[in-house]
Structure 1
């Protein structure tokens, strides 16, 4: 399919900068062998702690964010339930033997979510962000879907009515009926749910109300787009940024934790929430290294960092959850 987008050329979508998916001296075979020899530290030694809440009851008046581990979270803002990249399966891959969820991370299921999902946001179509099993179970409870160009076909295949899906190119925006505005913004990544890559786009998103701004980062390597977004939309009240599953072998498409802190500064956010960690092992680093490195770097720069447990309520303009809960996992 051809797309009328400046990001689509010669049959595929492209990043704004030249972006190698892997370092030049690497091959898929080498990476596969590394995955087969992961150190034990990629998995936590025991179940992760969590907070179980009644998500069906409306929260208080403030904007509330509930993180479910990795890159799945629920935003309750202006009376709307906004669900981002939900993965409520026990694995983040096409087959259940790979990328299994850590013990303790699946205390919530689709059944625990609010009865009505006013808006579903899918940043891109990788398995750890777009989960067929979750979408198939949610499809009758979703009122609207916003996603990147080309992702609609997957969503329709998993049961969502195409009439409620809106695909956005970078910098396209839409006004929502409850005083919210959503803009698709650039990211530095790739897409694909099989051997064929980059047939759909990958995005970050800016979610705004009359008084608050959130940056929903999706997956991205570091690049000048963060400052561009910060200059155009900042300051943000919160930037939700990926900080895990990094490696020097694929440094262009996933940020190192220190780069995520720099991205937060570029965005001019008042605080950051590290995600893309604490549920699946998709790289070789110790499971809790992302948050430890983020906090060490943030201490140098003065960037406030939220570290909620899975399921813990985080309310904007209230004290950030900052308990070092990972230190107690044994």
Structure 2
């Protein structure tokens, strides 16, 4: 009898865990393919019901999914620091500055440019997953509460993967801010599905622009992919040019290396600051995630001034050691004569007068 009760209790506990894992996953998936298609169909990048990169690209080698899943399950502590990641106390001046970047972790950054503020790829959730209990977990707390953000003039989103587009964060931002969301074609359907008013959503294709609060926001090319469920590439992915009257910033979002970045540099550069992804690379997906050396190459291609690395340290999404992106980036930047600043999570970097670099990451991995 006791054994039977234990089995029943275990089954109930298991069912409860499954229910918690599944709770909220359907809304988090976002809009359906049919809801996205009317917006996507007009893009020259959209063929055969999906978006395409300009250069042939593969997100994973054919037939590698099972081996990759095993590698993730058996990687152990690879990619995680041994000690707590230090946080800086974010500084948010009452008036936005001429040029500054506060890195909040991964691809989330608060950009001050010509007296305006732009928030990139905002993710405040603890996991980058449709589930609250499954999926990659944050390796450090957010350095500031979402409700403590200053007034945001625009939010830009690079693509719809969970580590760049977070349902909970979008809903809270729409409630607490009157900001405009500027997104690649198709991504707006997710936001409208989550209740963001249509008049606060601007969807752009590559090389299309919009004006927000005196800033010109231009959707530019990236080499990546998209998808929140089983369907892949139903929405577009992008990098972004953020241009004010005096200053210009390039936000790389998430991308592999492509020669198209040189075209962006010729057309929209030079840039005072570039924010470029340097982590989550692997030889199994070289087309869609750049490595640190390629990030330096992109910085040079777009004619950047100060390089600020993003897309590392926050979520363990690959197999390299936690600090490897920065150690490799430092060497590559030094060899190329590139000026860079590696902010602590939460640190505000003055893009005009960058502070002296302190190697805060040393000894953590």
TM-score range normalised by the length of the shorter chain = over 0.9
Say if 1:219 and 1:242, in contact at 8 Å, map to a contact too. yes
Say if 1:152 and 1:167, in contact at 8 Å, map to a contact too. yes
Alignment-derived partner of residue 204 in structure 1: 239
Closer/same/farther in 2, CA of residues 7 and 40 from structure 1, 3 Å limit: same
Say if 2:90 and 2:144, in contact at 8 Å, map to a contact too. no
Deviation at 1:158, TM superposition (A): 2.2
Alignment-derived partner of residue 113 in structure 1: 149
Deviations, residues 275-319 of structure 1 (Å, cap 9, x unaligned): 000100000111111111111111111111110101111112102
Say if 1:309 and 1:325, in contact at 8 Å, map to a contact too. yes
Mapped partners of 2:196, 2:357: distance in 1: 37
Say if 2:90 and 2:102, in contact at 8 Å, map to a contact too. no
Question: What residue ranges of structure 2 are gaps of 5+ in the alignment?
Answer: 1-36
- Give secondary structure in 1 for the equivalent of 2:265: helix
Deviations, residues 202-241 of structure 1 (Å, cap 9, x unaligned): 0001011121111011111001111111111111111110
Alignment-derived partner of residue 10 in structure 1: 48
Question: What residue ranges of structure 1 are gaps of 5+ in the alignment?
Answer: none
**Are 1:42 and 2:79 an aligned pair?**
yes
- Larger CA deviation: 311-320 vs 4-13: 311-320
After the TM superposition, which residues 1-330 of structure 1 pair with which residues of structure 2 at under 5 Å, given as runs? 1-2=37-38, 3-24=41-62, 26-55=63-92, 57-59=93-95, 61-95=97-131, 96-103=133-140, 105-114=141-150, 116-140=151-175, 141-178=177-214, 180-320=215-355, 322-329=357-364
Closer/same/farther in 2, CA of residues 164 and 284 from structure 1, 3 Å limit: same
Mapped partners of 1:295, 1:326: distance in 2: 12
Deviations, residues 70-102 of structure 1 (Å, cap 9, x unaligned): 100111223322111011111111223321111
TM-score (norm 1): 0.94
- Give secondary structure in 1 for the equivalent of 2:335: helix
TM-score (norm 2): 0.86
Q: Runs of at least 4 residues of structure 1 off by over 4 A?
A: none
**For the pair shown, which has the larger CA radius of gyration, 1 or 2?**
2
- Give secondary structure in 1 for the equivalent of 2:105: coil
Mapped partners of 1:79, 1:213: distance in 2: 12
Mapped partners of 1:15, 1:229: distance in 2: 15
Count of residue pairs the alignment pairs up: 325
